[in-house]
Chain A
Amino acid sequence: MEEDIKPDRKINIKGLVCPYTFVKAKLAVEDMEIGQVIEILLDYEEASRSIPKSMEDHGQKVLKIEKINDTDWVLVIRKEKE
Chain B
Amino acid sequence: MDFTEDQLQRYSRHIILPEVGGKGQRKLLAAKVFIVGAGGLGCPVGYYLTAAGVGTLGIIDNDSVELSNLQRQIAHSTKTIGMHKIDSAKATFEALNPDVSVIGIKERISKDNILDLIKGYDIVVDGSDNFPTRYLVNDACVMAKKPLVSGAILKFEGHVTTIVPGEGHCYRCLFEEMPPPGLVPSCQEAGVIGAIPGVVGSLQAIEVFKLILGKGDVLKNTLLIYDALKTTFRRIKVPKNPNCPVCGDNPTIRELLDYDAGYCAVR
Contacts and interface: CB of A to CB of B under 8 A. Distances in A.
Interface of A: 19-20, 22-24, 26-27, 30-31, 54, 57-58
Interface residues of B, number: 11
B156 to A, nearest CB: 38
A26 B16 contact: yes
A30 B18 CA distance: 11
Contact of A20 (B9, B18, B23): B9
Contacts of B22: 26-27, 30-31
28 contacts: A19-B12, A19-B13, A19-B16, A20-B8, A20-B9, A20-B12, A22-B16, A23-B8, A23-B12, A23-B15, A23-B16, A24-B8, A26-B15, A26-B16, A26-B21, A26-B22, A27-B3, A27-B8, A27-B15, A27-B21, A27-B22, A30-B21, A30-B22, A30-B23, A31-B22, A54-B16, A57-B18, A58-B18
Contacts of B16: 19, 22-23, 26, 54
Contacts of A30: 21-23
A22 B11 CA distance: 13
A58 B3 CA distance: 21
Identify the 5 closest CB pairs spanning chains A and B, nearest first: A27-B22, A23-B12, A30-B22, A23-B15, A58-B18
